[in-house]
Every structure is written in structure tokens, then in C-alpha cells.
């Protein structure tokens, strides 16, 4: 790098999973730099440059930094005002046979950018596996409550009934799209490779005495040694910062999904129909001892908003990269990229925690249905009367009058909805009074919701969860749960 910018572990990593926190730690970063220098040396030696086997072995033996080496690197960085060169010097001290060939022909972005691409790809893997676990947990919840009727809401006003499980499938479907998007962007990530200071590979062409074929082979070999299938065909000094924007886009979209799910849970908690886990000794409010605040869902919403706006940062950085590069991206990316992945990781783990302990209150749900269902059942009542020979328009007028009377009881007097009692008391409805109970059965108002849940889980969710990577992650998470 052309500036003095020390890598620090982001504050949010304290709350992320160990794997994600480690991915963006200084230890992982500088280990990866050394591994990239090793791969470069191996490839250069294989293609004929005079690099000794001793140099290679010393590099292999010292990929992990000791505390003493971190201190040496810090001193060197303060003196040289250049992080990469500080670590070239530090690596050379423990691999003296390689000191003269470490970073041979490379620019700083060989290690910094290639390392970032490695971290992006690995980070997406952690998120994909975590998302798979979350989907599996919510799928079990959806299956359990596939046929439990609940009041649906449009505009947050009472609407036709749905089921608790069907509502959960709406959350899962968006998470499946997020899973698709994360996989797509991970599969699309390439390697910067060995491109030189402005992307022309001039330094490597000089090293190989103008042999273009060997320069191409070097790029391909280092790419394969670093675990990538392909390198970007052309780059400037850096890989295009559009890649960062492409990677953060599905993370931001995941944030939107998480925010919607957590908001729904917060609203349901207000209705006392469904609550997130609440520990027996947990305090909801310092002043109001009775409160059970949905603090985990609120945390998800808070962090999800942060995750969504980080994408804008990547877009702006991409848009102002002049010609072959500028350095105004560096400090920004050192914050934005780790924060995006660490935040997404925390959002997923918190949602998983919520999904594993959701508490459903069927009696509260049934009571709310009973308050609204009489109005929703009026069409069924009218149809039943018509089947018995009644006049549709006359029945509609009768129901309209009684509905307004019942509405007055609820809205003006604060009493219960007594529409059904009014219908029972009116002789006009005698032909169908024996059918009223069945006409008011909530199960008759949920349509195909249970069957939709079954079909969705079978045709869409299960195939996604059968992916070997996700299947293994789910199995490991269950073993952890059993151990705990």
C-alpha cells in the first residue's frame, strides 16, 4: 500500500461468530499474505526463476505470525509507513533464505487485493451455511403451525385468515432468494492474480525475459495454487471495486429480509400472539417490570439497517476509482467490507436464536379471530341462505344492518362483537341457524394455506437444504444443540 493504515479488528467482531471474526482478524490477514507470497515463489520457481528449495521450505514453515513477529511488523510499519513492506521485511527475518525473493515482481495489491477476494469468498461461505441453518429452523416452525389459523393483515388492518405456518413461509421464501443470491455472487468471484503495478504484467515480463507464455502460465498457476478456478482477465492495479459492490448487494438484500422478519415478530409481540425467546430472569424494562420487549428482533432491525446502507458505500467507492487506481478506496474498504460480513453474520445468528425459541399463543390468536371472524363470515352466511332459497339482496341488507349494529357495540361502547348473537336472534336466519357454528369454523377460512406450506417445504425448501454444504452445516448445528 502507499499509505500507513494499520489493520485493526473491527469492534463488531466481538459479537460475531468465531469463524467470521477470525476471517477478518489481523492474524488471518497476514497469514494469507504470507501464503500468497509462498504461492508466488512456488510458481516462479516452477517456471525457472532461481529460487531455492530452502527458501520455499522456510516460507512454508513460517506462515503463522508469532506475537514477536507482530511486534516487529508494527515497528517496521511505523518506520516505513507502508504495511506491505513492513510485512515483507518481517517475513524475511524468519525466512532468511527467501528474504531476497519475497514479493518478487509483485505490487502491494498482489497480496492485499487477492487476500480480500479470498476473504470475500470465505465470508460468503459462512453466511450461506448460516442462512441454511436459519431456513431449516423456520421451516420446522412452519411445518409445526401449518394449519393453525391466524388473522391475516393487509395495511396492518384485519384481513382474511391465513395460518401461522403460511406466514412463516413468506419469510422463508425471501431467505431462499437471499441464499440463491449469495451463492451466485460467491460462484462468480475470481482472483486478481499476478498482474503487476498497473495491470500490464510488465514486471513479470521483465523477470521472464519477454516470455509472454510464461507470464500467462504464472498467472494461471498462482491462481490455481490459491484455490481459484479463474482470474479476472484484465485488472488495473486493483481488482475492480465493482466486485465489492456486487458482493455487498446480496448482503444488503439479506438485511432487508431480516428487517422485515424481525419487524413482523415485533408487531406480533405487541399483539401478544407470538413472542421471541424471553429468559426467566430477563428484564424487559428498568422501570416497567411487566414488560417483555422484543429486544433481539429490535437488534436485528437495528443492524439490518446498517447492513443495507453499507452497499451504498461500496457503490460510491467503485464510482470514483480514477483510471488505474486511487488510494481513497483503501481506508474506506478496510471498514466497509469487514463490517458488512460481521454485521450479516450477527443478524443471521440473532435471527436463528429467535427462530429456535419462538413462543406461539394459540388462545390469544383464537380470541382475536373471534373478534373479527363474524364480519368475515357474513358472505358465507349470505351464500348459505341463498342455497336455502333466500334472496341474495335481501339477505345482504339484513346482514349490513346487523353488522353496523355490532360495529357500534365494538367501536363506540368497547364491547365484544355480538354479530352472531344478533343473527341467531333474528327469525330471518332460522333456515341456517343450525349451520352457523360450521360457517364460523376458522379452519374453513384458511383456504389452501396448510397445503401451500406442505408443497412449499417439499418442492422448494427441502431441495435447497439438501445441498451438501448446507446439509453438513445443519447437522453440525444440531450436534452443538444436543451438546449444549
Positions of E strands within 213-316:
274-275
Q: Strands 274-275 and 157-163: what pairing?
A: unpaired
* 4 three-state secondary structure: coil
The span from the CA of 143 to the CA of 145, in Å, is: 6
Catalytic residue among 155, 280, 286, 483: 155
Contact between 222 and 43 under an 8 Å Cβ cutoff? The reply is yes
Q: Strands 149-154 and 359-360: what pairing?
A: unpaired
Query: Is 259 marked active-site?
Result: no
The span from the CA of 252 to the CA of 294, in Å, is: 23
Determine the straight-line distance between the first and last CA of the chain, rounded to whole angstroms. 45
The span from the CA of 448 to the CA of 453, in Å, is: 9
* Sign of the CA dihedral with 272 first, then 276, 277, and 280 last: negative
Closest CA to 57 of 95, 101, 93, 89: 95
The span from the CA of 252 to the CA of 245, in Å, is: 10
Query: Is 155 marked active-site?
Result: yes
Contact between 360 and 274 under an 8 Å Cβ cutoff? The reply is yes
Given 3-state DSSP classes, what are the helix, strand and coil percentages for the chain, each rounded to the nearest 5?
Answer: 70, 5, 25
Catalytic residue among 52, 285, 319, 444: 285
> What Rg value do the Cα atoms of the chain yield, rounded?
31
Neighbours of 234 (CB within 10 A): 9
Contact between 307 and 347 under an 8 Å Cβ cutoff? The reply is yes
The span from the CA of 22 to the CA of 337, in Å, is: 14
Contact between 429 and 395 under an 8 Å Cβ cutoff? The reply is no
Neighbours of 93 (CB within 10 A): 14
The span from the CA of 116 to the CA of 25, in Å, is: 12
Find the helix or strand (DSSP H, E) in which 374 lies: helix 362-376
Closest CA to 89 of 73, 112, 109: 73
Active site residues: 155, 285
Amino acid at each position: 500500500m502507499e499509505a500507513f493504515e494499520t489493520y485493526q479488528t473491527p469492534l463488531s467482531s466481538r459479537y460475531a461468530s468465531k469463524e467470521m471474526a477470525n476471517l477478518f482478524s489481523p492474524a488471518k490477514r497476514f497469514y494469507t499474505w504470507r501464503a500468497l507470497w509462498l504461492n508466488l515463489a512456488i510458481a516462479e520457481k516452477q517456471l525457472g526463476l532461481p529460487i531455492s528449495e530452502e527458501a520455499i521450505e522456510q516460507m512454508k514453515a513460517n506462515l503463522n505470525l508469532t506475537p514477536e513477529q507482530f511486534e516487529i511488523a508494527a515497528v517496521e510499519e511505523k518506520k516505513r509507513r507502508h504495511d506491505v513492506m513492513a510485512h515483507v521485511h518481517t517475513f524475511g527475518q524468519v525466512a532468511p533464505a527467501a528474504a531476497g525473493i519475497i514479493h518478487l515482481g509483485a505490487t502491494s495489491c498482489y497480496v492485499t487485493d487477492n487476500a480480500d477476494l479470498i476473504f470475500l469468498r470465505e465470508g460468503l461461505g459462512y453466511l450461506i451455511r448460516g442462512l441454511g441453518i436459519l431456513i431449516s429452523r423456520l421451516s420446522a416452525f412452519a411445518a409445526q403451525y401449518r394449519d393453525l389459523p391466524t388473522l391475516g393483515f393487509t395495511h396492518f388492518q384485519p384481513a382474511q385468515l391465513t395460518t401461522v405456518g403460511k406466514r412463516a413461509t413468506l419469510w422463508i421464501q425471501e431467505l431462499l432468494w437471499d441464499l440463491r443470491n449469495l451463492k451466485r455472487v460467491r460462484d462468480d468471484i475470481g482472483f486478481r492474480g499476478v498482474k503487476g503495478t498497473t495491470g500490464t504484467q510488465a514486471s513479470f515480463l521483465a523477470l521472464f525475459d519477454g516470455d509472454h507464455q510464461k507470464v500467462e502460465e504464472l498467472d494461471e498457476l498462482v491462481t490455481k495454487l490459491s484455490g481459484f478456478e479463474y482470474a479476472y482477465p484484465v485488472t488495473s492495479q486493483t481488482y475492480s471495486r465493482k466486485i465489492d459492490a456486487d458482493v455487498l448487494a446480496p448482503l444488503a438484500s439479506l438485511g432487508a429480509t431480516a428487517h422485515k422478519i424481525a419487524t413482523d415478530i415485533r408487531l406480533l409481540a405487541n399483539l401478544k400472539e407470538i413472542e421471541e425467546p424471553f429468559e426467566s430472569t430477563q428484564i424487559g424494562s428498568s422501570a416497567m417490570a411487566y414488560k417483555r420487549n422484543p429486544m433481539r428482533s429490535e437488534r436485528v432491525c437495528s443492524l439490518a439497517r446498517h447492513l443495507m446502507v453499507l452497499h451504498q458505500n461500496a457503490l460510491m467507492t467503485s464510482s470514483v476509482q480514477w483510471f488505474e487506481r486511487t488510494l481513497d478506496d483503501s481506508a474506506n474498504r478496510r471498514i466497509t467490507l469487514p463490517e458488512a460480513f460481521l454485521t450479516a453474520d450477527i443478524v443471521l445468528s440473532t435471527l436463528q436464536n429467535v427462530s429456535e425459541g419462538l413462543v406461539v399463543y394459540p388462545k390469544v390468536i383464537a380470541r382475536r379471530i373471534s373478534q373479527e371472524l363474524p364480519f368475515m363470515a357474513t358472505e358465507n352466511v349470505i351464500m348459505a341462505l341463498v342455497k336455502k332459497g333466500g334472496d341474495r339482496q335481501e339477505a345482504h341488507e339484513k346482514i349490513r344492518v346487523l353488522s353496523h349494529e355490532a360495529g357500534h357495540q365494538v367501536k363506540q361502547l368497547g364491547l365484544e362483537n355480538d354479530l352472531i348473537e344478533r343473527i341467531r336472534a333474528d327469525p330471518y336466519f332460522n333456515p341456517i341457524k343450525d349451520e352457523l357454528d360450521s360457517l364460523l369454523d376458522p379452519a374453513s377460512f384458511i383456504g389452501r394455506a396448510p397445503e401451500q406450506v406442505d408443497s412449499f417445504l417439499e418442492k422448494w425448501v427441502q431441495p435447497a437444504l439438501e445441498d451438501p454444504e448446507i446439509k453438513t452445516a445443519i447437522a453440525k448445528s444440531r450436534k452443538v444443540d444436543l451438546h449444549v
